[in-house]
Structure 1
Amino acid sequence: MRIVRYREASFSRLGALTEEGAVYQLEASDLMELVDEARAKGLSPSEHVTGLIAGKVPIAFSLEELELLTPVDAPEVWAAGVTYLRSKEARNYEATGGKLDATTFYDKVYEAERPELFLKSTLARTVGPGQRVCLRSDSNWQVPEAELGLVLDREGIIIGYTAGNDMSCRDIEGENPLYLPQAKVWSRSCSIGPAVRLAETVADPYALQIICRIYRNGEKLVDEQASTGMLKRRLEELVTFLKRDNELYDGTVLLTGTCLVPPNQFTLDSGDRIEIEIEGIGILANTAVYKHELTQPFYQTN
């Protein structure tokens, strides 16, 4: 069972998306309210939703016809780095100016007990499916990073899974590790969606296929795929470190790192279409532009 949010007139609606592709409108205003309702009844969120839509008629529109919003209003989006071997190799390449066999501090964090965790985005910087992500004006080497996202409650319990795009500037991060916040955080530098797959409906989160495609002027330039089975760290391990001496908020998203890195010679350009597909969740599609190209204010209340 997947949960989506969509715009209807000037309102946001919560919907249940079945395996057959039908969308059922739900009365809850957001995902966490739905979770609280389920817990009050002693049910899992999936059991609760199944009961709510039993005997009901789906809405008249398909998922493709809806204006989708972020599936959850994440007050904070955190991210983990160097959790896949491919990510470690890419970070080493950046930091050493292209020396493939070099060893850096990224090797150290890859093997360390403590993972790399950083604050990636806030509610006002995060966009949903179909919306535009922004490129930095002072970077010449920018890429999307396709990642599995964990949707958490305030206790760190994994409510569900979503797809995330952790936009990154490889040249800025490679120049100096202290520049990581600038290489990762700016307006519209993060997107999540298109849905939240409820955790109890995922048999094995380490067996999900992730695909990243990038199109320019209709031509597919990047088409790479990998599996969450390549993840070095356990999901619960990442959550444990995130909540250590920290305060989580309902709906917090933790991106778990990337195993897909475009070729080293590739950089995003304005107008590029990015598609991140995760098995059982859906396709998160966004177009990259520069901030000055936007014709409307960045933050729109959902």
Structure 2
Amino acid sequence: MSQRQYPDGVLLGRARVPGHDHPRVVTVRDGTVFDITAKGFATVRDIAESGRAADYVQSAPGVAIGNADAILANSVAATQDASQPSLLSPIDLQAIKASGVTFVVSLLERVIEEQARGDKARADTLRGEILELIGTDLSELVPGSETAAKVKAALIEKGVWSQYLEVGIGPDAEIFTKGQPMSSVGYGAEVGLHPISSWNNPEPEVAVVVTSKGEIIGATLGNDVNLRDVEGRSALLLGKAKDNNASASLGPFIRLFDGAFTLETVKQSEIALNVTGEDGFVLEGHSSMNQISRTPESLVAATIGEHHQYPDGLVLYLGTMFAPVKDRDGVGKGFTHKLGDIVTISTVELGSLSNRVNLSTVCPPWTYGTSRLLRDLAKADLL
């Protein structure tokens, strides 16, 4: 990558540090990672809910635990040295939520998935047919608008209306639970595919960090791993397609909003994707956050409010415009992951998130949950 794996700015994360039973809260200062875990601020959730997250992280006393580049390098699962610090997912007690079909390309690909019924061989033909039928630049539509309603009516008349078009241009956004608190993995970890899937892809996204009051206080990178064949068979299989062991990746750090980095910065982010396979296959993609059809604020409002509360806050994947269609194993066969793929998602503002693809049944099982964290924090007199 041309940029560093972590950006400048006010960074907040978590690390596994030898000699400690529980994850440590960390930040980066001048290329060094500092452990800033303290009583009352022993979790990322505590800091996020303080009402002064950026100020606290900038001024909190800490202990240097190592060079940031070295810790990032040691976070790669295949070569990790357990005697040295390594990064974890940068969130802990927050709910892990995601929004879908927030970009036009993603919208059309979801329609194709549904029409193909999980058969990737039919996708290329269907793509052309559906685009010809629609005959409208959906990127110019405002979801829920009068114009969008007219397009919806025209599509129903043509017989190609879809539940994905409903959430893509209809009044209500798609918001779903990606995983349980504490279940996400971080930089360098393996990401998991359910073994029943033979058509799947990464989803490179920006994820925003939201407090229990609905305030967006920062952002990180995410891979919302997706099983296209499973979700394509039925939208009611969304949980099976989305929520599996190691299927939610976040990191490397949360970058908190300050004077130099704001939500407006996020809205203009350019996201790069690189997938490099052990078979020599390389896939590159690019997403522009300014092409999103629903604003981050509107997606957060659809997630948290009077209708639904999250007392420990949440992280929200904002969706992706990148839908990989590059042929991998032959003409018309499209893209799907192979075990061993290295997926790297990067932006100048948030750094790079890199993970290796494996089966969810082979990735390290999720065993460290909320109850274990609370017991360990209590034992350390940090609650």
Equivalent in the alignment of 1:86: 105
Instruction: Give the aligned partner of residue 26 of structure 1.
Output: 36
Match of 1:117 in 2: 175
The one-letter amino acid of 1:104's match is: W
Aligned mate of 1:288, from 357, 361, 381:
357
Instruction: Say whether the 8 Å CA contact 1:145–1:166 is kept in structure 2.
Output: yes
In the TM superposition, 1:139-178 aligns within 5 A as 139-178=197-236
Greater C-alpha radius of gyration: 2
Does structure 1 residue 247 correspond to structure 2 residue 309? yes
Q: How does 1:124-273 map to 2 (within 5 A)?
A: 124-200=182-258, 201-203=260-262, 204-217=265-278, 219=280, 221-244=282-305, 245-263=307-325, 265-273=334-342
User: Structure 1 120/36 Cα, relative in aligned 2: closer, same or farther at 3 Å?
Assistant: closer
Residue 177 to residue 131, structure 1, CA distance change in 2 (3 Å)? same
Q: 1:298 to 1:174 in 2, by over 3 A?
A: same
Residue aligning to 2:70: 64
Give the residue type in structure 1 aligned to 2:104: L
Q: Sort the Cα spacing of 1:34 and 1:178 in 2 relative to 1 into closer, same or farther, 3 A.
A: closer
- Separation in structure 2 between the aligned mates of residue 117 and residue 249 of structure 1, nearest angstrom: 18
State the alpha-carbon separation in 1 of the partners of residues 271 and 280 from structure 2. 20
Aligned partner of 2:16 in structure 1 is: 7
One-letter amino acid of the counterpart of residue 107, structure 1: L
Q: Deviations over 1:213-234 (max 9, x none)?
A: 1111283521111221111111
Partners of 1:192 and 1:250 in 2: CA distance: 17
Higher strand share: 1
1:207 CA drift (Å): 0.9
1:104 alignment partner, SS class: coil
1:47 counterpart = 2:106: no
Task: Confirm or deny that 1:104 pairs with 2:104.
Answer: no
TM-score, length of structure 1 as denominator length? 0.88
Any conservation in 2 of the 1:79–1:119 contact (CA below 8 Å)? yes
Structure 1: where are the runs of 5+ without partners? none
Q: Which has the higher helix share?
A: 2
Number of residue-to-residue matches in the alignment: 293
Q: Secondary structure at the match of 2:298?
A: helix
Quote the Cα distance in structure 1 between the aligned partners of 2:165 and 2:65: 50
User: Which runs of 5 or more residues in structure 2 are unaligned?
Assistant: 1-9, 72-84, 117-122, 131-159, 327-333, 374-383
Q: Percent identity?
A: 27
Alpha-carbon displacement from aligned partner over 1:224-267 (angstroms, at most 9, x marks no partner): 11221111111111111111411213241111101122226111
What is the alpha-carbon distance in structure 1 between the residues aligned to residue 229 and residue 161 of structure 2? 16
